Amino acid sequence: MDHITQIDSPLGMILLSSDGESLTGLWFEGQKFFGSTLSDEHTEQHVPVLEQTELWLNQYFSGKEPDFTPPFSPAGTPFQKTVWDLLLAIPYGQTVTYGDIAAEIAKQRGLDHFSSQAVGNAVARNPISIIIPCHRVIGADGTLTGYAGGLERKKKLLSLEGSLLNM
């Protein structure tokens, strides 16, 4: 059974879910794939990991890079998890392109090329927004593209991190 709670953020309501031990979901209200990994059985209940996540978000939205990460366990395919692991390697305040991630996957797999579109699909299905920083992925030409939570939120998240210098 999942435990859920909703919190208000500067960018709108956020739904958090947990299996009781780890964070399993963090979605902005109305975002694409909202609650996609949430089980049918869930109860509104604060558990320690949800409280830790709320503290993390408070630090983040105050403009500081959080100094801890709550335990998390996103549900996804092996390929999606590979992409999400690469997202976790993007430093706070920096961005990479979908092509950069595709090139890294190609390198890991010993391929000459890998599909940026496949990467984009995996990024879009990230069930733990912000903490797994899918907002730090931009288009090849440096434009803000594709964010399940909406481009305006993506812009605000990047601005909060100081990475909107030339965008």
As annotated, the active-site residues are 134
Q: Residues 79, 162, 17, 7: what is their CA dihedral angle, to the nearest 10 degrees? A: -160
Strands 42-44 and 2-9: parallel
DSSP 51-111: HHHHHHHHHHHTT---S----B-----HHHHHHHHHHHTSPTT--EEHHHHHHHHHHHHT-
